[in-house]
Chains A and B, each alone.
Chain A
Amino acid sequence: MKVPVSLRIAALAVATTGFYTYVGQLVPQKEVHPPEEIVIAKDMKPEEMQKVGRQIMEGKGLCFTCHTIGKSSGPFRFPDLGGIGSRAGTRIPGMSDVEYIAQSMYEPGKYIVPGFNPGMPEISKPPIGLTDDEILAVIAYLQSLGGTTTVTMQTKLPWQAGGGGDAAIGATPAAPAAEAPVTSGATDSAAPAPTTSEAPATPGNGAAPAPAPAAPGSGR
């Protein structure tokens, strides 16, 4: 039986697309969802901040797209962050480790580690758009890599101005500051903060929280 040319051509087109679809099924299948918002409480202890900071780096911060931790050899696209906690305070004379790490996120172009090209985006702005509180949590985690976490949720940084994802159109508006009560003197007080004070600072969709009033008596 002779198969008509038109049928052969149709079969070829279907077989070719079928083959490429099959190849598409062979590679790893992963759905990538928008980063989940992590609830940040104003009274987090350093260990909690470190844990949250790590989560942010893995998720919303997209840090591990470029950075590694503890990679000893091989080509580095961007600096490895292993031991950053111990060397951050020595990078720029007169700048503390917290300030250095904060600057590298708020103003990454100010200081480029020798041997690397500039390329880090401003983390407080979209598309990543970490909030000031999220950046504090990330600093806490980075300090713990070879150093000691000294930053707290009440630490004030010169760059903090309520930046973050609110520049993006379509982001859910931030919760008013009044709705996010801050436990006063969280660092000084040994008393555990009431759970009601854990108002979500990032209500969703990358919105930045409105700057919370400074907690009296707090400081670093």
Chain B
Amino acid sequence: MKNRMLLAVVAAIVGLAVVVGIAKFLMHREYHAPYRPDPSVVAETPRDQGLADQKAEQEKADKEKPYQEVEYRAFPKIGSRVAIWIVAQLHLLFAAFVLAVPLFALIIEFIGYRTKDPRYDRLAHEFTKLLSVSFSLTGTFGAFLTFMLIILYPKFTSYLVSVFSITFLPYVLLFFAEAFFLYTYYYGWGKFSPRVHLLLGLGLNLVGTAIMLIANAWLTFMTSPSGISEKGALISTWDAVTNYTWMPINIHRIIANVAFGGSIAAAYAAIKFLGAKTDEDRAHYDWMGYIGNFVAICAFLPLPFAGYYLAKEIYAYSQTLGLTMMGGAFSWLFIIQAVLIGNLFLAANYYLWLGMGRIAGAEQFQKYIKYLLILVAICFAVWATPRSIISTVSEVRAMGGSSHPALGFLGVMSAKNTAVNILILTTYISFLLYRRSGKTATVKWAKAGNRAQLAIFLVAASIVIFLGVYGYFVEAAVRIAFSIPQVLSVLVAMISVTVIDVFLFKNAKKAGEPRWGQIAPVSQYVLIFIAVTFTWLMGLMGYVRSGLRQHWHVYGVMRDTSVDAFTPTLGFATKIVSVTVLIFFLLISFVFWLAGLGEKKDWEAKPKAAEEGAAA
């Protein structure tokens, strides 16, 4: 009964609401006479005169308007900084690719020329195929970036032009020269004598490097300006070019470009492998992917050392800048970097271990993989351990500080330097095992050679670990200096072991040739993962290099007074990096697709009868 009453009340309320709604709807459509004021009370307005006066006043104001220099303009929706960030990063990614590929294409072509093996020539040609469209995209993004700078940051751009005006014309001329060399090198494949063609490739590399050196001068000047007065006036262009971070960035970029270019070329091969229809194609693209990855990893191994050199020069220029990078706003960025580099090492090792499967006689080395994996995992964990931990007040109290009582020790430079050096040595061992797979040394001194190699590894690892531990007991200045002998011991070990290995396996007995194409398809996804990770890493490190200046366009010289004069959170930065990386891969997929078009058959109109038959 109660329920019925309640239902009736609800129904009444709903009914009332419906009636009121209908009434409102109908009343809106009822005719109402428009409002017309009483003519007797409306004053006569000189409207035309008023409008004419207003117009004249505006014209006068326009004529007298003084010229005002605009400091900033806003980019709609995403803001100027994000717009410039994305465009600059895309330009850099394509530029890196265009500079790197000719470098190893030339080396591969040269190997083909010396060994008379046509496979190398085909491989170098295939790498070069990716260049022409990428070159156009690099130029397009470069022009886009320039216009964006002029439009969005006119005052800053004008200042950079005032300092580097002398460098712009050579830059443009070199760009023309690069276009000449690149297109002649690509379209002239097989049309010139090998020596002439190699010379064209050399020219392409020299010009490309020169372009990079000039562009690097502009961007490094922003971080470590020199050659100017305290007020920012130019004193010496040469000093402005050869500023503190110029050479370290040049070296770091050349190496990083090669690593990045190799990984992208390997990704191209992986995509082709996964889509291959014949064993021959699979074998070719497996080999191409291997070479691309080999190039990438070879360049990747010395990259941390180039990074140390760059960081050292940043500290030498300004302790404040250095500490902002490693101990201030950006210190957590290096934990993200550790995750990326750790993943790269893991993936690179995994690819090598998978690759052993295509070599007959590799079984003897496969038992070592688990130990290598444990080493890689430990080093990865140490490298990714932060010094301080995000924790609650009670957790901080329990730990006795923001650092964990035990794990906190792994968060300092001594532990990280040790971890990365051991990681490099481990990856090198993986490569060495891969290289030795299916081979038996036939030289008389094989046993002694093996022992010597093992001894070199042990000595290098001991030096690295000893200095890493000893670093906890000395002052910062001494500890930082320890990184040099650590790095040198690893480099010396890798070089000397390689030299021994080359002679050790000269005329070695082979169990069989590598069965190219017979590798698990997952390996190809590993190559693509490596390429995405490399690209993401480049985006992240590009951010720290640029963001390091914080609220300065030119550090200590020209302040950023725009609305974006703050350093965003790392979370925000990683989102922008991800968006940029995905745009890049979308565009590079287009490049890959274009490069593959040449292999397709020409379009031919289907015979009418066949078309009709198909329709039926």
Contact = CB atoms under 8 A, between A and B. Distances in A.
B335 interface: yes
A168 B536 CA distance: 34
Nearest to A117: B477
Contact of B585 (A13, A28, A126): A13
A18 to B, nearest CB: 7
A21 B544 CA distance: 16
Nearest to B530: A16
Contact of B567 (A31, A77, A172): A31
Contacts of A30: 329, 569
Nearest to B475: A75
B479 interface: yes
A21 B475 contact: no
Main SS of the interface on chain A?
Answer: loop
B339 interface: yes
A29 B569 contact: yes
A169 interface: yes
A144 to B, nearest CB: 24
B283 interface: no
Given A31-B567, A65-B328, A20 B479 contact: no
A27 B332 contact: yes
Contacts, number: 153
Interface stretch (B124-132, B208-216, B421-429, B552-560): B552-560
Given A20-B578, A62-B320, A128-B320, A32 B476 contact: no
Contact of A31 (B324, B340, B568): B568
Contact of A65 (B274, B323, B532, B561): B323
Nearest to A126: B556
Nearest to A32: B567
B532 A206 contact: no
B319 A120 contact: yes
A66 interface: yes
Given A17-B582, A170-B553, A29 B570 contact: yes
A157 to B, nearest CB: 20
B231 A34 contact: no
Contacts of B320: 62, 65-66, 121, 127-128
Given A12-B525, A167-B230, A23 B536 contact: no
Interface residues of A, number: 46
Contacts of B525: 8-9, 12
A220 interface: no
Contacts of A194: none
A211 to B, nearest CB: 17
B319 A16 contact: no
B529 A27 contact: no
Contact of B528 (A13, A32, A75, A117): A13
A115 B339 contact: no
A16 B536 contact: yes
A14 interface: yes
Nearest to A24: B574
Interface of B: 71, 155, 159, 230-232, 271, 274-275, 315, 318-320, 323-324, 327-329, 332-333, 335-336, 339-340, 386, 390, 474-477, 479, 525, 528-529, 532-533, 536, 550-561, 565-571, 573-575, 577-578, 581-582, 585
20 contacts: A9-B528, A13-B532, A13-B581, A17-B578, A20-B533, A23-B574, A24-B571, A27-B386, A29-B571, A30-B569, A34-B566, A75-B475, A76-B476, A115-B475, A121-B318, A128-B320, A167-B557, A168-B556, A169-B232, A170-B155
